[in-house]
Amino acid sequence: MLKKIIFTTLSLLIFLAPMNAQKYSELHQKAKKYLSERKKHSQKEELKYLENLVHCGLPTLTDYYCHDYWTVKSQNPKPLPKSKLYNQFTIKKSDSLAMSIARTAAFLVIKNDSIIYEHYYSGFNKDNVLNSFSMSKTIVSLLIGKAIDLGYIKSLDEPVYKYFDWMTHPKDSLLTIRDLLNMASGLNWTEDFLNPFSDIVKAYYGYPFDKLLPSIHVTRKPNQKWHYQCVNYILAAMIIEKVSHMDLGTFVEKYLWTPLGAEHDALIGKDKASGYPRAFCCFYATPRDFAKLGLMVLHNGKWNGQQIIPASYIEQMHEPAKHLKFKLFRHVDFYKLGMWIYPKPKYKAIYFAGVYGQYIFILPEENAVIVHSGQMVNQLDVMRIPPDVPLYLKIGTEILKQYEAKVQK
């Protein structure tokens, strides 16, 4: 049974993620290794998450039905207003084709706190609750800022080990919350999306965190090198739960979703029904409510007359963590505290980012926010500038230029 599940899993990944012949061969070699090592794992737990993987397939925008989750209630809905010029703009045919190829689901442009452009594709609409994927990491970082504001956490430089009794290895004491949020933890977490036994695949498909995490320890000195690992935000979310004595869904509802005036309920994935938040990936909301998150950041943590996240915390997100090494001789010029920063001068933007084309762009100089939701299933690599980002920034800023031209008439 386990053998059948593994090869079904690999076949599914091969079909949906384009790979060359060499990678195909490597994957089969890995499969043999997995089978030979299966006795090292709890077969009962393996079977469960692998069955989830086979049943659910690759992650999608609406895969919440395959997982346990909290419902975050919309207690105080306040719809975003539409501009008088709402949807009076055009997108070039070439750009529209590019969006189609990228399997865009939603594209919104907000200017001066009003929606000026909104379009949905492939049958999606404004009421659909869609997966944030890794945009969730930026949300968790903002929640850490809130926890500091509330006095639950003293500072970003608090050691992580004091929150987890299994963190007893010598280097574990070096790790801080800041290191988690900056992707500089040095943890021995495997982030291989094409390996059914990797930590990230287990985490996504419901392997219980209380069984998965105790083997995770610091093996490289933290705060030295930027290395993208989802576990950093699993731990950050768990810290929020520990210090607040609330589950993450309750914390989000009380301190973020209600003050934002979110229009719809949101969903937050869990590893199991009574478990921990899958906060590295799985915050499901409508594109309009994602836009409100962007607007809050645009206004330095303030929305609906409330200071939701401290302005001082938001300000830190605008400057990259340049002290961290990236690749070869390059240092980080694109990331800090869970926020992505566009590193080239053409666009002055910071943004939330998630795999398959999920973005919330904040453009302070334009007083604007751009939201894109998509289903580009072959985008798995973490890059300094994701290849589709310039496209969405280009289309969004062209709409903003059309808006300015109409206003000035």
- Whether the Cβ atoms of residue 293 and residue 260 lie closer than 8 Å to each other: yes
Distant-in-sequence contacts of 52-57, Cβ < 8 A, 24+ apart: 52/205, 52/206, 53/5, 53/9, 53/12, 53/196, 53/201, 53/205, 54/5, 54/8, 54/9, 54/12, 56/205, 57/12, 57/16
- Give me the pLDDT at residue 327, please: 83
* Distant-in-sequence, close-in-space partners of 79: CB < 8 Å, separation ≥ 6: 263, 288
pLDDT score recorded for residue 199: 95
> Residue ranges of the chain with pLDDT lower than 50?
1-32, 34-36, 39
pLDDT, residue 13, reads: 41
What stretches of 150-247 show up as alpha helix (H) in DSSP? 177-181, 199-204, 209-212, 231-244
Is the separation of the CB atoms in 63 and 263 below 8 Å? Answer: no
**Cα–Cα dist 321/183, whole Å:** 10
- What's the rounded Cα separation, in Å, for the pair 334 and 353? 12
Q: What is residue 40's predicted lDDT score, i.e. its pLDDT? A: 52
**pTM, entire model:** 0.90
Residue 278: count other Cβ atoms within 10 Å of its Cβ: 27
Cβ(116)–Cβ(399) below 8 Å: yes
Buried b / exposed e across 67-77, counting CB within 10 Å, b at 16+?
A: bebbebbbeee
- Domain 63-408, CATH homologous superfamily name and number: DD-peptidase/beta-lactamase superfamily (3.40.710.10)
Which amino acid appears at position 305 of this protein?
A: G
Provide CATH 3.40.710.10 ranges for the chain. 63-408
Bridge partners, 284 (sequence order): 131, 267
186-201 in b/e burial notation, b at 16+ Cβ within 10 A? bbebebebbbbbbbbb
Are residues 340 and 350 in contact, defined by beta-carbon separation less than 8 angstroms?
Answer: yes
- The DSSP result for 275-305, as a single string, is S-B-TTT-EEE-HHHHHHHHHHHHTTTEETT
Confidence at residue 6, expressed as pLDDT on a 0 to 100 scale = 44
- State the greatest distance between any 2 C-alpha atoms of the chain, in Å, as a whole number: 72
Q: What number of other Cβ atoms are within 10 A of residue 344's Cβ?
A: 12
Nearest to 70 by CA among 284, 235, 355: 284
Query: If residue 314 lies in a helix (H) or strand (E), which one and from where to where?
Result: helix 311-316
**Which residues pair with residue 331 across a beta bridge?**
325
